């Protein structure tokens, strides 16, 4: 099969389009014919060797988002059938989805939304699962609560704005340039142009802050959380002492795969509550170009790789 592998850590030039053996199925795996894979910042972090999820020997296949079709059920105990159209964010510690075929645990995947294309479906799992966990499981965002969502024009942010609005929250977003209109179109009630306005200027207003930027943005975000509120960051290490002094909670997490949650998200998509935001699609052969774009940190919504 055709796949993108790395044989060492490094910049985008280590991404090699190669002919590789089909994945072998573990006892509880199904085999997926991948139609589309999404590109996420974590792919670059693994490529660079900044995130190390696995001690496996090289070569590795990157990519942890996909939409495709079940083509082999192996010996797995699953309710899925051959030919089911599925999507998912498989485990990070094994070969990924920049590949014509991928072996996955069926508990990590779900039937894809029916109302959108497979290119769009592939863009959803990692970012919607991240936003859901941050806002609802950790942040416990309630209807009528206020959420501050940083980088609302990015992958996680564009999903988070929609999920928070669907939950009935008041959504304040940060963005810049044409990202401001994108954030508004996704439902943000207020958008702060972060390049020209200080989001801390309005004092403590957010029940939940979702930080996907880190650095100075994370440092300044403590000051906008209301007492007993929650700062969730997926882009840095929270400072527990600082949070305690302010009477807030600050947390981070590494996302787990979650098939049942993806089934709920598919229903939300099919009901029109949330929509995918794919702004660029590349062929698998152009993976280096796709990584160059994700490495810019300036993308809007999601970029995807057409595999099939």
Q: Which residues bind ligand NAP (CB under 6 A)?
A: 40-42, 45, 126-127, 130, 150-151, 153-157, 174-177, 179, 194, 212-213, 217, 234-235, 253-255, 294, 297-300
Closest CB to ligand NAP among residues 138, 213: 213
Beta strands in 92-239 (DSSP E): 101-104, 109-111, 146-149, 170-175, 190-193, 206-211, 225-233
Q: Which two tokens stand for residue 84?
A: 């089911």
Minimum CB separation from ligand NAP for residue 187, in Å? 16
Using alpha carbons only, what angle is made at residue 258 by residues 103 and 293, rounded to the nearest 5 degrees?
75
Q: Which residue is nearest to ligand NAP (CB)?
A: 154
Cα–Cα distance between 58 and 70 in angstroms, integer? 27
Minimum CB separation from ligand NAP for residue 120, in Å? 16
Closest CB to ligand NAP among residues 40, 162: 40
Closest CB to ligand NAP among residues 30, 153: 153
Minimum CB separation from ligand NAP for residue 236, in Å? 9
Q: Which among 90, 111, 108 has a CA at the least distance from the CA of 43?
A: 90
Minimum CB separation from ligand NAP for residue 171, in Å? 14
Closest CB to ligand NAP among residues 45, 237: 45
Alpha-carbon 89 to chain mean position: 9
Minimum CB separation from ligand NAP for residue 71, in Å? 28
Cis geometry, peptide bond prior to residue 59 (ω within 30 degrees of 0): yes
Closest CB to ligand NAP among residues 30, 231: 231
């Amino acid at each position: 099969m055709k796949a993108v592998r790395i044989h060492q850590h490094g910049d985008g030039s280590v991404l090699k389009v190669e002919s590789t053996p089909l994945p072998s199925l573990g006892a509880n795996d199904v085999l997926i014919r991948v139609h589309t894979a999404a590109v996420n910042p974590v792919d670059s972090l693994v490529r660079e060797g900044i995130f190390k999820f696995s001690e496996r020997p090289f070569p590795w296949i990157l990519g942890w988002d996909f939409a495709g079709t079940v083509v082999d059920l192996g010996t797995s105990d699953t309710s899925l059938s051959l030919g089911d159209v599925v999507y998912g964010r498989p485990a990070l510690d094994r070969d990924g989805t920049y590949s014509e075929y991928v072996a996955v645990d069926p508990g990590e995947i779900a039937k894809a939304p029916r109302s959108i294309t497979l290119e769009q479906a592939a863009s959803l799992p990692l970012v919607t699962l991240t936003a859901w966990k941050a806002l609802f499981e950790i942040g416990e965002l309630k209807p009528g609560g206020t959420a501050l969502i940083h980088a609302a024009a990015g992958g996680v942010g564009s999903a988070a704005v929609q999920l928070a609005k669907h939950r009935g929250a008041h959504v304040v977003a940060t963005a810049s340039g044409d990202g401001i209109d994108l954030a508004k179109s996704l439902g943000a009630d207020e958008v702060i142009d972060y390049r020209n306005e200080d989001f801390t200027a309005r004092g403590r207003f957010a029940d939940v802050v979702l930080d996907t930027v880190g650095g100075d943005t994370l440092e300044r975000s403590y000051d906008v959380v209301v007492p007993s509120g929650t700062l969730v960051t997926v882009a840095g290490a929270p400072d527990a002492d600082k949070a305690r002094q302010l009477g807030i909670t600050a947390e981070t997490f590494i996302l787990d795969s979650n098939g049942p949650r993806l089934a709920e998200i598919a229903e939300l998509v099919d009901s029109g509550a949330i929509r995918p935001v794919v702004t660029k699609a590349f062929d698998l052969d152009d993976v280096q170009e796709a990584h160059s774009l994700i490495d810019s940190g300036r993308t809007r919504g999601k970029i995807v790789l057409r595999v099939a």
